[in-house]
């Protein structure tokens, strides 16, 4: 009898334990499932919110590419940069929004590198003297020009137009510029002046030059970020521009980067700051009259008014364009081939070659060799 009672008690204990476990499981499982569902929902909501917040908030007013801060009222800075063999490789060109290239004396070319904001001008150079037509290029973007002197003709244009510039050889170099001793030793005195990081803004303030604009200007319209320009022009993945008998520039297109990489002096043209090859999303070629104004020095002038033709190169293709300008104080205006529709370029940096009409027929628009 006693053994029966013990057996019954054990069976009851096992039954109660099984029921208790089932009841606990029934209580806990729905809670876990409900909590997991809520957590997943909350995570999805948070992820969606973060994704929306990560979209670009600001865009560069010249390139239309995303920026970390608002540059919509920033006045661009345009720096005159030397481009002979001793001056290359230059500093800071890959950071420019637009680079103009044009002939100077001796068959050499010179750059005007345009930066969307003074804070983007780090170490740039070698900075060299300007020519009168560089003021016209700067006016295309209402940019403040930074130089290391100018010619008599350039000074005359500055005076006539009332242009204020940031000049490395006017007064003290700093703030704004300094002479790099390593460059001075390796490349010579005239190749040693560079811009001082964050110095041009301070120099502009010192000279009463405003670095703010209300209505930015541009020779062309830049499409929204990530919106590709449709091109139905001549096939062009290789481009050769012979500025002179001893100065030919080459560009080769890459479908991977959607950019044209630059070659000069028989090798890749690199930036001495970061070792990167110069490359551009957009290439514009403008055919404008060149005139020699000093037979002794060979100094030229490039017309600052009139109408003419040119080319726009993008995405492996090339189309003809037209330009129009009333005078050097106003931006040049670029149009599609019909001469009426404003030129639209893709978002990204731009290279602008200003060449003589005699050069245009020698430019090669070809398919790159495989």
What's the CA gap between 354 and 304, in Å, rounded?
A: 12
Token pair recorded at residue 227: 């919106």
Radius of gyration of the chain (CA): 31
Task: Please give the pLDDT value at position 113.
Answer: 98
**Which whole-number Å values give the CA distances from 118 to 77, 148, 178, 195, 271, in the listed order?**
6, 17, 16, 11, 19
Cβ neighbours for 154, distance < 8 A, ≥ 6 positions apart: 129, 130, 131, 132, 134, 135
Report residue 4 as tokens.
């029966």
pLDDT of residue 250: 98
β-strand 144-147 against 77-82: which pairing, if any?
parallel
3-state helix, strand, coil split of the chain in percent (to 5) is: 25, 30, 40
Distance from C-alpha of 155 to C-alpha of 110, rounded to nearest angstrom: 18
Neighbours of 131 (CB within 10 A): 26
Got the DSSP string for 32-93?
HHHHHHHHHHHHHHHHHHHHHHTS--EE-TTT--EESS--TTBPPEEEEEE-STTTPSPBSG
Q: Which pLDDT score, from 0 to 100, does residue 368 have?
A: 78
The structure tokens 């930066």 sit at 115
- At residue 228, the pLDDT reads 82
pLDDT of residue 179: 97
Distance CA 133, CA 154 (A): 8
Instruction: Name the token pair of 306.
Output: 């009139």
Q: Which residues of the chain have pLDDT under 70?
A: 1-53, 370
The DSSP element (H or E) to which 15 belongs, if any, is helix 2-53
- In terms of Cα–Cα distance, which of 129, 149, 127, 130 is closest to 139? 130
Nearest to 77 by CA among 224, 260, 203: 203
119 SS3 class = helix
The CATH class for the domain spanning 66-366 reads alpha beta
Burial of 278 (0-12, 13-18, 19+ CB in 10 A): buried
Sign of CA dihedral 302, 305, 309, 312: positive
Q: Is 186 in contact with 91 (CB distance < 8 Å)?
A: no
Distances (CA, A) of 293 to 91, 106, 131, 297, 298: 31, 14, 12, 9, 7
pLDDT for the residue 34: 44
Nearest CA-CA partner of 169 in 197, 127, 132:
127
Record the pTM: 0.85
* DSSP assignment letter at 304: -
**Residue 238 burial by Cβ neighbours in a 10 Å radius (0-12, 13-18, 19+):** middle
Helical packing angle, 152-161 and 132-139, nearest 10°: 40
Query: Would you state the torsion angle of the CA atoms of residues 133, 342, 312, 73, taken in this order, to the nearest 10 degrees?
Result: 60
Cα 93 from Cα 66, distance rounded (Å): 19
DSSP string, 174-239: TTTEEE-HHHHHHH-GGG-EEEPTTHHHHHHHHTT---B-SS---SSEEPPTT-PPP--SEE-SEE
């Amino acid at each position: 009898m006693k053994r029966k009672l013990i057996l019954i008690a054990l069976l009851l204990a096992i039954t109660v334990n099984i029921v208790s476990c089932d009841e606990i499981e029934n209580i806990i499982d729905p809670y876990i499932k409900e909590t997991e569902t809520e957590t997943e929902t909350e995570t999805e909501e948070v992820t969606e919110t973060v994704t929306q917040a990560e979209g670009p908030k600001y865009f560069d007013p010249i390139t239309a590419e995303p920026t970390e801060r608002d540059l919509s009222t920033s006045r661009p800075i345009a720096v005159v940069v030397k481009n002979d063999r001793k001056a290359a490789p230059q500093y800071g060109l890959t950071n420019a929004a637009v680079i103009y290239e044009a002939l100077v004396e001796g068959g050499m070319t010179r750059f005007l590198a345009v930066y969307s904001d003074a804070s983007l001008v780090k170490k740039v150079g070698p900075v060299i003297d300007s020519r009168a037509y560089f003021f016209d290029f700067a006016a295309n973007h209402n940019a403040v020009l930074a130089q290391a002197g100018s010619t008599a003709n350039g000074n005359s244009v500055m005076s006539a137009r009332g242009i204020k510039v940031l000049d490395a050889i006017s007064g003290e170099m700093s703030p704004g510029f300094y002479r790099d001793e390593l460059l001075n030793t390796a490349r010579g005195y005239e190749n040693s002046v560079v811009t001082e990081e964050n110095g041009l803004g301070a120099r502009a303030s010192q000279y009463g030059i405003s670095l703010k604009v209300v209505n930015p200007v541009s020779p062309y319209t830049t499409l929204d970020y990530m919106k590709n320009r449709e091109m139905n022009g001549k096939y062009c993945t290789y481009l050769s521009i012979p500025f002179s008998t001893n100065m030919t520039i080459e560009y080769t297109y890459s479908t991977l980067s959607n950019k044209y990489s630059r070659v000069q002096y028989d090798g890749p043209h690199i930036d001495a700051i970061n070792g990167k090859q110069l490359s551009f999303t957009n290439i514009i070629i403008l055919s404008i009259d060149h005139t020699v104004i000093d037979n002794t020095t060979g100094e030229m002038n490039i017309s600052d008014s009139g109408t003419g033709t040119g080319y726009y190169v993008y995405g492996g293709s090339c189309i003809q364009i037209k330009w129009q300008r009333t005078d050097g104080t106003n931006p040049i205006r670029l149009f599609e081939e019909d001469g009426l529709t404003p030129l639209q370029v893709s978002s990204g940096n731009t290279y602008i070659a200003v060449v003589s009409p005699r050069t245009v027929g020698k430019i090669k628009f070809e398919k790159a060799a495989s």
